[in-house]
Amino acid sequence: MIEIQVTITNTSGLHARPAAQFVQKAAAFKSKVKIAANNKVADGKSILAVMSMGLKQNTQITITTEGEDEKECSKALEDMIKSKFGEE
């Protein structure tokens, strides 16, 4: 199991498009993905769960990956968030 902390830095937070990108990227891996922030935990492979988190700019989240490709998965998700989902 790998746990990383990353801050949502894109201006509009994890709204529909970046949430969909996150879920698609997470779904490409076999590992389980969880997102935790603001005392909530969500399945990182569920668009509804990710959207319901209401993650805004400057929110620090914890991403937990667990499975055979957890290292690659956590790195890919972290890189996507740090790139601001290509929005800026």
CA atoms within 13 A of residue 8's CA, in its CB half-sphere:
24
Active site residues: 15
| Residue ranges covered by each domain of the chain | 2-86
pLDDT value of residue 12: 87
pLDDT value of residue 64: 98
Over range 54-67, report the average pLDDT: 96
Full-model pTM: 0.94
pLDDT at 88 over 70: no
Q: Which CATH topology does 2-86 take?
A: Histidine-containing Protein; Chain: A; (3.30.1340)
Q: What percent of the chain has pLDDT over 90?
A: 86
Over range 55-84, report the average pLDDT: 96
DSSP SS3 for 32: strand
- Matching residue, tokens 């800026």: 88
